[in-house]
Chain A
Amino acid sequence: MSDRPLIQLTLARLREFVREPEALFWAFVFPVVMSVVMAVAFPARGNSPVVIGIAAGAEAAGVRAALAAEPAITVRDVAPGSEQRALREGEVHLIVVPTMPPAYRFDPGRVESRTARLLVDDALKRGAGRTDPWTATEEPQQIPGSRYIDWLIPGLVGLGIMSTSMWGIGFSVAQSRMRKVLKLLVATPMRRRDYLGAQMLARLVFLAPEVAVPVAFGVYVLSMPMRGSVTALVIVSVIGALAFGALGLFVASRARTFEAISGLMNVSMLPMWLLSGVFFSAANFPATVQPVIQALPLTALNDALRAVVLEAVTLRGIQAELWTLMAWGIGSFAVALRIFRWR
């Protein structure tokens, strides 16, 4: 075993980490749980049935029979007086009032309700004896990588890299400061950059499972495509982890209490949770704020991860994102080293 200070400091950090079960949970189990929850909440597009409510009325039986012939439609009775609630909660997508001709009650602002209107209208008219001029041939396509979950997993990986890097470093540094370990260390000949460098190196060791577990779960359980090279994925992850590790050091460079470090961590990460395209595309935000969003490190990391995983883009194709991450990393480390509070 080498007795170089950088290696000993890194080992110390790793030992503290693996001896802390909660930290392991957040790093490894949380991303998987998150992926499963998302897979359940957002099933593949087009498979969800259209739910139609039938109000009380003279033609109710006929309407029910006509709708039953359409396999994509599920029929549910709606008690009088609860129609508004059923529509609002999404229990039914559309309510048919069985008069002749019938009336449709639905919210045209909802995509599912507009789909339901087309299906119901078609089924009822066909049931009433309409003949179609022709029937098109349907050629269903399964395009891998086009589902929401495929888009989401790389974002969760990016989010995981950011959270574990920043919390992992921030809390450990703040705790060492509070327990006066930092003060004791600077009373020894230890070089300060070795301490900061060891914090970041230790992050890299745990990066492998942090990225590999959710990606493998996505590929093998949720059939997410992995189109780019594993090497590119590794390089993007390492650069991302170093950038966020350095940012974590910067955020933790002055904090002296857990309250302070928690507040600073949340203030710095929350905007990226929302803006950087983790759960929904960053393109939803207006053009005027796009320059800011594109400059955020998590946006760069997520864009790079998705480009590699879903579009097989090479490192050359994502060099802008990689430069953004490196600029954040180098800038944060340099400032942290200057303003770091050691006592």
Chain B
Amino acid sequence: MSVAHALRCRDLRKQYGDVVAVDGLSLAVHRGECFGLLGPNGAGKTTTIEILEGLLPPDAGDVEVLGMSWRTNEPELRQRLGVQLQETQLPDKLTVEETVRLFRSFYHQGYAVDELLGMVELEAKRTSWVVKLSGGQKQRLALACALAGKPDVLFLDEPTSGLDPQSRRQLWDLVRRVRDSGGTVLLTTHYMEEAEILCDRVAIVDHGRVIALGTPHELIASLGTVKAVTRHGTLEDVFMGLTGRHLRDE
């Protein structure tokens, strides 16, 4: 297919009661890039990614995934996307292998179960119950489930929140490998170092809008004109410069 954009949305709006979660958000994600939505908790990242995943209908705005729309092409799109949600707890008493085999069964084509276990380095845990896994192992299992159908676009919502630094780095390696093999990745995070290390481009989201967009390098470089940087700048400084607030501690 010759569509240049893996994902595109225009003027998305979503409101819960009086709270405007997404307020006129527009994005375009290229094929083969790893794109990050960076922002504090409550910025509207999860709502945005769930709209793009076709799990939430927007109040207004258009969504285009792989050149198709959720309204008319849902079954086909589902075959070509992989989704990892922020709060899912996979069933405790299924084994790792059983869980992966279950998710693999939903896709017409994709990786073999053994391949998936190898990719996320859980072969040694294949007969363990999910409840016995560490946080990092659970996240890798969730990633294996999302990768089961060899997706063209992979959605990751806060894939490393709550993980120790070592598990986080292990997951970054996996995501980078998916991107390097030609897959498009859209992830949300509130860790600036994660966005810096992993993402080709980053959109900084606050109050349901994109307030800055570019490669991590461009965003950090733009700091130079905002304020004098005495040390090596980070995306945290970019967020501070734009909003006057810290990213992490709201």
Contact = CB atoms under 8 A, between A and B. Distances in A.
B89 A12 contact: no
A262 interface: no
Nearest to A5: B105
Interface string A1-37: 0011101110110011001100000000000000000
Contact of A12 (B83, B102, B107): B102
Nearest to A176: B91
B53 interface: yes
B106 A5 contact: yes
Given A180-B88, A189-B75, A3 B101 contact: yes
Chain B interface main SS type: loop
B55 A190 contact: no
B93 A180 contact: no
Interface of A: 3-5, 7-9, 11-12, 15-16, 19-20, 176, 179-181, 183-184, 186-190, 343
Contacts of B91: 12, 16, 176, 179, 181
Contact of A188 (B89, B90, B107): B107
Interface in B75-105: 75, 78-79, 81, 83, 85, 87-91, 93-94, 98, 101-105
Contacts of A179: 88-91
Contacts of A184: 83, 85, 88, 90, 145
Nearest to B155: A187
B104 to A, nearest CB: 7
B78 A188 contact: yes
Contact of B89 (A7, A11, A16, A181): A181
A20 B129 CA distance: 13
B149 interface: yes
B162 to A, nearest CB: 15
A20 B107 CA distance: 29
7 contacts: A15-B94, A19-B129, A180-B85, A180-B87, A183-B88, A184-B90, A188-B103
A8 B89 contact: no
Contacts of B148: 188
B108 to A, nearest CB: 8
A4, A15, A20 pick with most chain B CB within 10 angstroms? A15
